[in-house]
Amino acid sequence: MPAVCPGDTTFRFPVRVYYEDTDTAGVVYYANYLKFFERARTEWLRTLGFGQTEMAELDGKVFIVRRASTDYRLPARLDDALVIHSQLSRLGRASLEFRQWCQRDDDVLASGHIQIGCVQRATLRPAAMPGRIAQRLAAVVTPDAPGSQQPFTPPSTPPLT
Question: What is the band of 9 on the pLDDT scale with cuts at 50, 70, 90?
Answer: confident
- Sequential DSSP letters for the chain: --B--TT---EEEEEE--GGGB-TTSBB-HHHHHHHHHHHHHHHHHHTT--HHHHHHHHSEEEEEEEEEEEE-S--BTT-EEEEEEEEEEE-SSEEEEEEEEEETTEEEEEEEEEEEEEETTT--B-PPPHHHHHHHHTTB-PPPTT--SPP--TT-PPP-
Comparing 47-51, 100-104, 125-129, the range with the smallest average pLDDT is: 47-51
Catalytic sites, residue numbers = 23
Question: What is the band of 150 on the pLDDT scale with cuts at 50, 70, 90?
Answer: very low
Q: Which domains are present in the chain?
A: 11-138 (3.10.129.10)
Question: What is the band of 146 on the pLDDT scale with cuts at 50, 70, 90?
Answer: very low
Using the predicted structure, report yes or no on whether residue 2 has a pLDDT greater than 70.
Answer: no
Instruction: Give the mean pLDDT of 94-123.
Output: 97
Using the predicted structure, report yes or no on whether residue 118 has a pLDDT greater than 70.
Answer: yes
Instruction: Give the mean pLDDT of 49-72.
Output: 95
- Give the pTM: 0.86
Using the predicted structure, report yes or no on whether residue 57 has a pLDDT greater than 90.
Answer: yes
Per-residue pLDDT tens digits for 69-104: 999 999 999 999 999 999 999 999 999 999 999 999
